[in-house]
Structure 1
Amino acid sequence: FEITVSDPHKIGDAMSAHVVYKVHTKTSQPGFDSEEYSVRRRYRDFEWLFNQLASTHPGVVIPPMPEKQSLGRFQDDFVESRRFALEKYLRKISVHSLLQADDDFKIFLTSENFTIETRVRRPETSRGFFGVFGEVMSGSFSKYSETDEWFENRKDQLDALESQLRSLLKAIDTTIKQRKELAVAHGEFGQALRALGEAEASPQLARSFEIFSELQDHLRQLQERQASFDVKTFESTTDEYIRTIGSIKLTLTARVKAYQVWQADAAELHRKTSSYDRLRNQTRFRTDRTSQLQAEIGQLEIQTENHRHEFEDISTLIRAELERFDREKVLDFKESAEQFLSSMVDHQQKVIRLWEAYL
C-alpha cells in the first residue's frame, strides 16, 4: 500500500461545516479491482473505520485516531496536524497483517458510494476509541482482578510509560511555543529596523538597517519552519504513542469482557449442574425436567468451553500485539529523534550562514 491524505478543505454552512480530505491509494494487494483509488472522506468516516476494526478484531491494537476538537478545528495548523495524523493512522493499518485485508478497510479506501455502503453493512457493535475510553475511565466495566502476572506487569509499564510520554509532550510543546514566540520576536524586530531605516537620512545607514531587517525576516522564517517540523517529528510521535496506549487499554477491555462472559457461563453451568444433582437425589424427580437440564448443561458446557478458548485466544493475540508495539516504538522514536536532531543541525547551520553573510 501507498496511502496519502491530502487536499483538506472546508465544506458546508456554519451549522454543518466540516473538513473533507482526499485519500489516495496505490496498491498491489490481491482483492482490489484497480491499482489506484482516490476518494473523499471526512473525520467521522475515519472514526467509522476505527469502530468497525475494533468490533471485528478484538485483541488487536487498532492504530489510534487523532483526537476530536471543537474549538479551532478549521485553523490551518490544526487541519494540517490532523491531516498528518490521519495519514499515519491509515498507513499503520495498511501494514498490519490482520487489518490490511479487512473488508471495511477496503471499502473505506475504494468506495465511491461510501455513505450508502456503510449504512447497509453490519451495525457498529463497538463504540470505538472515544466512546469505550469514556467507559473505561468512568469505571463502567465490572471490576476485574488480574490473575496473570504478565498482564499485570504490562499494565503497570504502560501506566508509567504514559506518564513519561505526557511529561515529554509537555516539554516539547513548551519548546515549540518558545520557538514560535522567537519567530514573532524576529518579525517584530525586523519591522522596527525597517521603519527605522525608512526614517534615516543617511542612505548608507538606512541600507544597513534594511539588510539587518531582511536578516531578521529570514530568521523568523527559519524559526517558523523549525517549529512546524518539530510538530511533525517528536511531537507527533509522542502524541501518537500516548493515544496508542489509550488504544491498548481499550484492547485490554476486550480481554476483560471475554473473561467475564466465560465466567458468567461457568457460573451458570455450575448453577444448573447443582440443580440437576439436587433433582437427581430426590426420591421422586421429573424425568422431563432432568432431560431438559441435561440438554441445557450440555449446551452450556460447549458454550463455556468456546468462551474459554475465546479468552485464551484474545490473551495470546494481545501478547503478540504488545510485543509488536514494543518493536515499533523503538523504531518510531529512533526515526523521530534522528529527524529532529538532523533538522536542528541543519537549522543551526542556516542561522550561522545568515549571520556570516550579514557580517
Structure 2
Amino acid sequence: MADPLSAAAAERELFGDEDFEDLSPSSDQLNSINLGSDDGIPLDSENSTTADLLEGSGIRNLELEDEQMDNETKDLFIVVDNPEKHVTTMESYITFKITTKTTRCDFDNHEYSVRRRYNDFLWLRQRLEETQPSHLIPPLPEKHSLRRLDRFSPEFLKNREKALQKFMSRLEDHPVLSFNEHLKVFLTAKQFEFQAYKKQGSGFISRTADSLRNLSASYMMKNRSPEFTMLQEYIQTFGEKLGTMDRIQQRLVKEQMEYVTELNEIGPVFTLWSNSEDELSTALTAVAHSIETCCNAVQESISETEGEFGQSLKEYILYVEAVKAVLRRRDAMQMEYELAAEELQKKKDEKEAVKISDPSFSFGSLLGKDPSEVKQGKREKLEQQIEELAKEVERLNDRTVCADSDLKADMERWHKFKRKDFRDLFIKMADKQISFYEKSLKAWEDAIPLIQNTEQETKKEED
C-alpha cells in the first residue's frame, strides 16, 4: 500500500510554510492547468470554461471510468432529501427523508425510507466514533453554519441537505463504516424502534472520560511514530491555511453585502431621475436597469460563495478536527500498549530480583514461614502475572498495529477525495466568477447603445 503521508508531503509543497502569497501562479502556470500530470491542458478556445477543459482531459476521463466502475460495484445507495418541518408544543424541528437501496444480504429488504432529524445524525456519528475508534469519521455540518439565515429558510435547508447527503455518501463509500450495525439501524429502524435503540449505549459521563483520556494521551506519548508526528504537523498547518481562507471568504461576503446595499440605494435614484428628465429618460432607465442586473448578480455570487465555497471550506475545517480526534484515539491506544509493556518489564525485573534475593529477611519469613516457600510463592505469582501481562501486551500491540493500518488507509482515501473536492470546487468557483463578470459586462454593454442614442437624439434636436 502506498504511504498516505506522501500525499501529505505533496500538499505541504503546495501550501508551503509561508502565507498565501506563495500560492500566486507564475506566468507559465497561467498558460496551462496542471492537474497532476506532466501535460498541461491548453487553452485553445477563448469561450471554453475550465469545466469544459477538464472534461477534455485524459485525467478526467480516467476518473470518470473509475467512478463508473465504483458505481457498478457499489451495493449501498443512500439519498437525503425532502426536508419537512415539524411543530410540537415543546419545539420546532426539521426532519429529512433517508432513502436507502441495497443488495446486501444482511438487510431484510432492498429499499428503506425513514425520516431523521439533525440530532439523529449526531447520535450516529458518536456511535461510529465509539465503535470504530481507529477510523476517520466524516464530520457533520455545524448546527447553525449559516448564521445570517433562519434555520427554517429554504436556502438554509438546501445547504443542510447537501451537507448531510455528503456525510452519508462518505459513509456508504467506506469499506468498513458502511457495515456498521449502528448505521444499519439508523437507515432501517422505524421511529419508535430507533428512539428505543438510541437510549442504549454509553452515557455522557463515559464519553467525557474517553475524551479526556484521549486528550491526555497526546501529551503523555513517548514513542509516537515519526509518520504520525508528520501527519499531526501537516494537519495543523492545513487547518491554519483553511482558517485563513475562511476568514478572507467571510470578509469578502461582508464587503459584497455592503456593495449590494449601496447598489440598492443608488438604483432607485436613477429611476426617479428618469421620471423628471424626459430627454435623458432612456439613458437613465438603462443605467438603472444595469445597476439592478449587477445587484442581482452580486447577490447570486454571495449565495454561491456561502453555499458552495464557504460550506466546503467549513467541511474541511471540521475534517481537520476529525483527523485530530482520530489521532488522539490512536495515541490513546499506543499509550495503553506502552503502559502495559512497561508493567510487563517491571514484573520481569521483579522476578529476576526475587531469584537473587535472600528470602530470610522477607516479610513472610519474619512471620515464621519457610523462606524457600515464600520465595517460591513470589516467583509463581510473578510468573502468573507475567503470563497474563504478556497476553495483554500482545493483544494491545495487535490492536495498535490494526489501528495504524486503519488510519493510514483512511488518510490515503481522505487525501484522494480531498484533492478531487478542492479541484472541483476551484473549477466551479472560477466558472461562477466568469459568469458573474459576463452578466455584469453584458448589462453595461446593453446600456451603451441606449445611452448613445440619447446623445444622438439630443444633437438632432439642437440642429
TM-score, normalised on structure 1?
0.85
- What CA distance in whole angstroms lies between the structure 2 residues aligned with 1:138 and 1:15? 37
Q: Which residue of 2 aligns with 1:176?
A: 253
Q: Distance in 2 between matches of 1:306 and 1:250?
A: 23
Query: Residues 274 and 139 of structure 1: is their aligned pair in 2 closer, same or farther, counting only changes over 3 Å?
Result: closer
Aligned to 1:119: 199
1:203-232 CA deviation, whole Å, 9 max, x = no partner?
Answer: x75565455444433332222222222223
1:77-226 alignment runs, 5 A limit: 77-113=155-191, 114-120=194-200, 122-123=201-202, 135=212, 142-197=219-274, 199-200=275-276, 202=278, 205-206=280-281, 209-226=284-301
8 Å Cα contact 1:133-1:246 kept in structure 2: no
> Is 2:215–2:328's contact at 8 Å kept on the other side of the alignment?
no
C-alpha displacement at 1:261, in angstroms? Answer: 1.3
Shift of 1:98: 1.3
Give the Cα–Cα distance (whole angstroms) in 2 for the partners of residues 140 and 261 of structure 1.
9
Q: Which residue of 1 aligns with 2:334?
A: 259
Matched ranges for 1:318-357 at <5 A: 318-357=407-446
| Deviation for aligned residue 1:92 | 1.2
Partner in structure 1 of residue 344 of structure 2: 269
Q: CA deviation at 1:237?
A: 2.1
Deviation track 1:55-89 (CA, whole Å, cap 9, x = no partner) reads 11122111112224497662635444333322211
Deviation of residue 19 (structure 1)?
3.1
Change (3 A) 1:126 1:61: farther
SS in 1 for 2:190: coil
Name the aligned partner's letter for residue 198 of structure 2: T
The structural deviation recorded for 1:140 is 7.8
Kindly provide the amino acid, as one letter, of the partner of residue 49 in structure 1.
Answer: L
Offset at residue 178 of structure 1 (A): 2.5
Q: Which residue number in structure 2 is paired with residue 45 of structure 1?
A: 120
CA radius of gyration, larger in: 2
In 1, are the aligned partners of 2:134 and 2:326 still within 8 Å (CA)? yes
| CA distance 1:201–1:168, change in 2 (3 Å) | closer
Helix, strand or coil at the partner of 1:92: helix
Q: Distance in 2 between matches of 1:25 and 1:166?
A: 35
- Contact conserved, 1:54 with 1:126, CA < 8 A, in 2? no
Q: Distance in 2 between matches of 1:208 and 1:137?
A: 68
C-alpha RMSD of the superposition = 3.2
- Alpha-carbon offset, residue 252 of structure 1: 0.7
| Contact kept? 1:193, 1:209, Cα under 8 Å | yes
1:170 Cα deviation after fit: 1.4
Q: CA 1:69 to 1:349, structure 2 compared with 1: closer, same or farther past 3 Å?
A: closer
SS of residue in 2 equivalent to 1:153: helix
By how many angstroms is 1:127 displaced?
7.7
Give the partner amino acid of 1:123: S
**Structure 1 residue 314: deviation in Å?**
0.9
CA distance in structure 1 between the aligned counterparts of 2:381 and 2:396, rounded to whole angstroms: 22
Q: Say whether the 8 Å CA contact 2:78–2:169 is kept in structure 1.
A: yes
Q: Please give the alpha-carbon distance, in whole angstroms, between the structure 2 residues aligned to 1:14 and 1:137.
A: 40
In the other structure, the counterpart of 1:285 is: 373
C-alpha distance 350-37 of structure 1, shift in aligned 2 (>3 A) = farther
* Aligned residue number for residue 456 of structure 2: none
Query: Per the alignment, in what secondary structure is the counterpart of residue 94 of structure 2?
Result: strand
AA matched with 2:447: Y
Query: Which amino acid is the alignment partner of residue 309 of structure 2?
Result: F
Give the Cα–Cα distance (whole angstroms) in 2 for the partners of residues 221 and 179 of structure 1.
12
Q: CA deviation at 1:156?
A: 1.3
| 1: CA distance, partners of 2:343 / 2:288 | 80
User: In the alignment, is the contact (CA less than 8 A) between 1:53 and 1:104 conserved in 2?
Assistant: yes
Contact residue 51 and residue 126 of structure 1 kept, 8 A: no
Percent identity, aligned pairs only, is 22
Cα distance in 2 for partners of 1:351, 1:289 equals 88
Q: What amino acid is the match of 1:185?
A: E
CA distance in 2: counterparts of 1:123 and 1:134, whole angstroms? 13
Return the match for 1:241 from 306, 312, 316: 316
* Distance in 2, Cα, partners of 1:29 & 1:260: 38
- Show the counterpart of 2:38: none
Per the normalisation by structure 2, the TM-score is 0.67
Per the TM alignment, residue 247 of structure 1 is displaced from its structure 2 partner at its CA by: 0.5
**Structure 1, gaps ≥5 residues long:** none
Q: Deviations over 1:15-61 (max 9, x none)?
A: 63433323333444443344443322222111111111111112211
Aligned length, in residue pairs:
354
* Structure 1 residue 333: Cα displacement: 0.5
1-structure distance, mates of 2:239, 2:209 = 18
Q: 1:190 to 1:39 in 2, by over 3 A?
A: farther
**1:126 to partner: Cα distance:** 10
In structure 1, distance between residues paired with 2:161 and 2:350:
60
Is the Cα–Cα contact under 8 Å of residues 132 and 250 in structure 1 kept in the other structure? no
Unaligned runs of 5+ in 2: 1-75, 360-370, 449-463
